[in-house]
Structures are given as structure tokens and as C-alpha cells.
């Protein structure tokens, strides 16, 4: 069955180029009305220019689609709220939000400044929160919403020189994990994309041959799936070069230690079993507590019933 978005309204941030542009155009090709948001600044977040977003709108219109440009800085809540208000005034609903906007200020932690850290987290983490917050009650009220936050392997696994970026990208995963639970009864689904793509933000960071393979159009199908009616929720979908995988946060089974071994020495002595023995995927934060309390009850010989 072909996935389409006829009658749906989508906002895509950072859509003036790279991944965002590809997401916006492909959503429009499949019937969505699209808000092409882009501040038009540099990779490091400096300056502003509306030409890029307007050019993408022109591309969509040339294909027979409907789109509007908006230059909101996602780090500014008032500008985001204006974008949402204009979208509602024009089309009366918001069904899809793709949080894609971002900047880079890559430096080792020793060389990076507090200002660099603040700016990166304001765009990636707070910007994602601003856009999601502005759309949240609308989606709840219409009992339909599909939201994508953009994470990264830099957040999930770490990457030298990207402490600020990695912290922000892991932050949006925590946000997604909780909002998926809060939005469930309203049919608001939220997922995370962890893309690997050759874009303006990754140029010079990826080998040339790999860069040529990692085109944005090899990632966008993941977004199209995650914002479809039958999408999953609370999923981290990695995508790049046409390959797709689900990333999961897991925890080892671990073990309970008797009181005499509940010491740093006891942990060291039992480290092999604590850190190994298979992996256990946790479905919600409270399940960690349930697991550990269960282990303690078993170790202490307490009947859970």
C-alpha cells in the first residue's frame, strides 16, 4: 500500500537544504501541505536569509504541491509560536512535525566554550522542545499527530569533538521516550531519527566516497515511515546510505548483591556478571525499578505475592 499524506499539514524545520529540504519535498510529493521552515543561517548558526526556504517552496509548487515558507528561529519560542499560528490560519491543522533544524560548533570539550555549548543545545534541544510544545495541544485536540525528533549516533554513542551536539541529541531521545507515553491516548506518536547523511553539516567529516553514498534521499524514507498513519511510536530509527536499523537503549540483566557485598569492592568483585550476561531492553523508566526490586526480593527470599 502506498503511503500518502493527502489532507495532512506538515512543518519541517531546517528545510532550506540538506535533509530538511528532502523531507519537505518528499512529503509534498505524497500530498502533504508543507511549511518549509529555515532561518537561513550558517552551519554554526550565524546570520539569517529566507532565500533557501523560498527556493524549496518554489520547487514544491513547481511539482504541483502546496507550501509556505517561514523563517522562524527555532531557538526563539515567540517566533515558533508565530509560525504555528500562521500555519493554523492558513490550513487549520498540523498533523506532522519534523524537528530537523540544527547547527554545529564542533570542538573538543577542552577547547569549546560555554557559549558554544549553550547555542548548540538551544537549537537542537530547546528548539525541538519549542516546536513540539507549540504543536502539542493542537495535535492532542485533533487526536492525531506524528512527530519526529532528530537524534544522532553522536548522542547515542558519542563522537570526539561533539560534546555539545551529543548532549543535545541524547536529550531529544529522553524527550521522545516520555512524550510517546503522554501522547499515546491522543494518537500522537513521536519517534527519533538518527541519520547519517552527506550534507552541509557533515561535509569534511566523512570520507569522500562514503559522503557520495550518504545522500539525503537515502534517509528521508525513514522520516516518511515515521510520520505515516501506521507508524510505530517511541522508536529510534537509524538511517543512512539506504540502510536502516532500530537503535535501542538496553541494560544488562545485572545481579543482586547481599548487604555484605553492597560495597565498591563487592561491585568490583562481581563486575563480570554485573556488566555481562546478555542485554535487557527496558520499555519504560519504571521497569528498571521493577527489575531491580524483583532481583532484591529474590535474593532476600521475599515472596512477591
- Do 239 and 194 touch, CB atoms closer than 8 A? yes
Instruction: Verify whether residue 165 is a known catalytic residue.
Output: yes
Question: Among 42, 44, 90, which residue's Cα sits nearest to residue 67?
Answer: 90
Cα angle 106, 125, 252; round to 5: 90
**Candidates 5, 144, 157, 165; catalytic one:** 165
Place of cell 493542537: 138
- Do 135 and 145 touch, CB atoms closer than 8 A? yes
Cell of 118: 549553550
- Do 211 and 203 touch, CB atoms closer than 8 A? yes
The distance of Cα 79 from the centroid of its chain, to the nearest Å, equals: 21
Question: Among 146, 159, 139, which residue's Cα sits nearest to residue 205?
Answer: 159
Residues designated as active site: 165
Amino acid at each position: 500500500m502506498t503511503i500518502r499524506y493527502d489532507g495532512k499539514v506538515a512543518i519541517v524545520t531546517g528545510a532550506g537544504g540538506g535533509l530538511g529540504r528532502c523531507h519537505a519535498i518528499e512529503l509534498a510529493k505524497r500530498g502533504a501541505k508543507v511549511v518549509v521552515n529555515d532561518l537561513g543561517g550558517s552551519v554554526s548558526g550565524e546570520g539569517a536569509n529566507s532565500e533557501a526556504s523560498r527556493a524549496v517552496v518554489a520547487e514544491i509548487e513547481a511539482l504541483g504541491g502546496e507550501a509556505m515558507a517561514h523563517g522562524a528561529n527555532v531557538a526563539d519560542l515567540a517566533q515558533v509560536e508565530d509560525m504555528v499560528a500562521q500555519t493554523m490560519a492558513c490550513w487549520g491543522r498540523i498533523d506532522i512535525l519534523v524537528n530537523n533544524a540544527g547547527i554545529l560548533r564542533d570542538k573538543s570539550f577542552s577547547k569549546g566554550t560555554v557559549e558554544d555549548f549553550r547555542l548548540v543545545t538551544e537549537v537542537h534541544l530547546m528548539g525541538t522542545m519549542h516546536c513540539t510544545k507549540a504543536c502539542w495541544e493542537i495535535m492532542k485536540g485533533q487526536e492525531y499527530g506524528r512527530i519526529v525528533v532528530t537524534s544522532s549516533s553522536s548522542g547515542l554513542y558519542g563522537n570526539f569533538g561533539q560534546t555539545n551536539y551529543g548532549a543535545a541529541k541524547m536529550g531529544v531521545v529522553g524527550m521522545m521516550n516520555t512524550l510517546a507515553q503522554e501522547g499515546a491516548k491522543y494518537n500522537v506518536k513521536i519517534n527519533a531519527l538518527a541519520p547519517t547523511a552527506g550534507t552541509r553539516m557533515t561535509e569534511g567529516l566523512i570520507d569522500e566516497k562514503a559522503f557520495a553514498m550518504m545522500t539525503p534521499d537515502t534517509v528521508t524514507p525513514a522520516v516518511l515511515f515515521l510520520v505515516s498513519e501506521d507508524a510505530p511510536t517511541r522508536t529510534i530509527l537509524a538511517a543512512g546510505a539506504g540502510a536502516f536499523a532500530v537503535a535501542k537503549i538496553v541494560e544488562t540483566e545485572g545481579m543482586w548483591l547481599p548487604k555484605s557485598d553492597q560495597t565498591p569492592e563487592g561491585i568490583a568483585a562481581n563486575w563480570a556478571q554485573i556488566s555481562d550476561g546478555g542485554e535487557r531492553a527496558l520499555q519504560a523508566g519504571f521497569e528498571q525499578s521493577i527489575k531491580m526490586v524483583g532481583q532484591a526480593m529474590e535474593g532476600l527470599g521475599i515472596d512477591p505475592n
